[in-house]
Amino acid sequence: MVGYTSKKSASFFLRKHRKWPYSPYKARWHRIFNQQQAMQSLKHSALKPSQEESVNKSHLLSSLIHSFSIYNVEPTAKAFDFIFKTLVKTSQFHHIPSVLDHLEKVENFEPPESTFAYLIEVYGRTNKTHEAIELFYRIPKFRCAPSVYSLNTLVSVLCRNSKGLKLVPEILLKSQVMNIRVEESTFQVLITALCRIRKVGSAIEILNCMVNDGFTVNAEICSLLLSCLCEQKDATKLEVLGFLEQLRKLGFFPGMLDYSNVIRFLVKGKMGLDALHVLNHMKSDRIKPDIFCYTMVLHGVIEDRDYLKADELFDELLVFGLVPDAYTYNVYINGLCKQNNFEAAIKIVASMEELGCKPYSITYNMLVKQLCKAGELGKAGELVREMGLKGVGLDMQTYRIMIDGLANNGKIVEACGLFEEALDKGLCTQSLTFDEIICGLCHRDLSSKAL
């Protein structure tokens, strides 16, 4: 009993006089809680209109200092991010430098690089290129080690115009002094930016630099460069096909979209047979062309007047199980009309609906126009009547084609009747057609009809 009493007294003495340390977990929780409360106070202050705002100091910065001092905690990076975003949102760009000065000279924590990348991007959007460059060089003063992340952001900003583009080489050289290693992502940002402003030649030079420096080139960049080159108005066939071959040697395997871009470029340049060669190369790479590719090549070979190839292509796409759409049929029908093979063209129009592709007025108008040009007014009239029976409405284009066809073939009275029919339906044709009909009636001594 005596021993128990002595132990109890000793425990009481320890509880009374020993200085127990605070739990690290409890201190951390308390600090985080106070920081959250300070942030809430800061956000609440931001909603109030500023009354003591000066030219050199933002009320937001004052609110930040006051809010965090009340709760006896240091300001956080999240708090400064909130201030920067609020200043940008409210277009108070003139207060950003004072907040940056405070962050550099007063605070002790290490801000995340994302804070400066965000401001560089903001400066770029507001055409403050000089401020963006200065901030990039200043990042180490904020106790933050700059990396390729902020470098890529700055490069992307500078490449938005030709003036900033000239500053990129100097930035890349100085970034090495800042111990920033240029990576593949930097080249990709540079190439993407150059393609965006249509500086494809410079982008290809950057690609060559990547290859020479031993960097790997991903498929996305290759596709982007090839697409932009195909969109260049002054690009030649040798340049496009040569560049495609160069990309192949780098290990690039063109996909459906890449082949489509090259085929479109060749067809627009009236190089249909070259487009056919690319289509065949596409099949040899075990990529099945879609109906869009076949339609483009079909249009190209028809423009080159290689109608035998056009027939072979149309049969081939059917064998491959592709379903022609209205545009494909229109292209093929146009080719038949150019050969004056109107019977086959009319049969194709008749079979379209059976194959689940209902012909629209564009298809009929194209065929009617070619029949009128060839003087086949009877067949053109039958086709127009067929349009009415099948519920395909006669539009202004249909009437204009028929009126022009009748007038050009000397059938002025019939053209006048059709013209009156169009006017009764509220359709107004071109004034040139109206003048031709009036003149034709006058030449035939039909002045009363003309009046």
Residue written as tokens 């047979």? 273
Question: What are φ and ψ of residue 167, in 5° steps?
Answer: -85, -10
> By the 8 A CB rule, do 357 and 324 touch?
yes
pTM greater than the 0.85 cutoff: no
| Residues in Cβ contact with 90 at an 8 Å cutoff, skipping those fewer than 6 apart | none
Digit-coded pLDDT (tens) for 256-271: 999 999 999 999 999 9
Can you give the three-state secondary structure of 204-235, one letter per residue?
Answer: HHHHHHHHHCCCCCCHHHHHHHHHHHHHCCCC
> By the 8 A CB rule, do 90 and 60 touch?
no
**Cα angle 93, 94, 97; round to 5:** 95
Digit-coded pLDDT (tens) for 89-138: 999 999 999 999 999 999 999 999 999 999 999 999 999 999 999 999 99
The stretch 54-83 carries a mean pLDDT of 84
> By the 8 A CB rule, do 333 and 348 touch?
yes
* Residue 195: how many other CB atoms lie within 10 Å: 21
Please give the biggest Cα pair distance in the chain.
146
Q: Please give the pLDDT value at position 54.
A: 45
Question: In 3-state terms, what secondary structure has residue 267?
Answer: helix
**C-alpha–C-alpha distance, residues 301 and 245, integer Å:** 23
> By the 8 A CB rule, do 271 and 241 touch?
no
Residue written as tokens 């031709």? 436
44-58, 110-124, 286-300, 365-379 — which is least confidently predicted?
44-58
**C-alpha–C-alpha distance, residues 355 and 363, integer Å:** 15
Q: Please give the pLDDT value at position 174.
A: 93
